[in-house]
């Protein structure tokens, strides 16, 4: 299966995420919880958070409850 999008698309989305996080008050060192299934949206969100110096905590919503 061919991946959806390009590295340029990923970079664009990550930039938009970074801008939105900063606008919402996320600062370097803050923790951003990302609860998305594996895929491009998860990677783009994590990259956007890392770009502004935030810490990423990724949760897989597909995991069963404990």
Closest CA to 26 of 3, 2, 56, 1: 56
- Burial level of 45, CB count in 10 A (0-12/13-18/19+)? buried
Show the DSSP H helices in 5-66 as ranges: 7-23, 40-51
- Kindly report, residue by residue over 12-42, the tens digit of the pLDDT: 999 999 999 999 999 999 999 999 988 889 9
- Kindly report, residue by residue over 4-13, the tens digit of the pLDDT: 778 999 999 9
Question: What CA–CA distance (Å, rounded) separates 37 from 24?
Answer: 23
């Amino acid at each position: 299966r061919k991946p959806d999008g390009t590295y340029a698309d990923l970079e664009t989305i990550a930039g938009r995420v970074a801008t939105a996080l900063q606008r919402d008050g996320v600062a370097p060192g803050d923790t951003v919880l990302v609860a998305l299934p594996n895929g491009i949206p998860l990677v783009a969100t994590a990259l956007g958070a890392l770009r502004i110096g935030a810490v990423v905590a990724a949760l897989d919503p597909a995991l069963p409850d404990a």
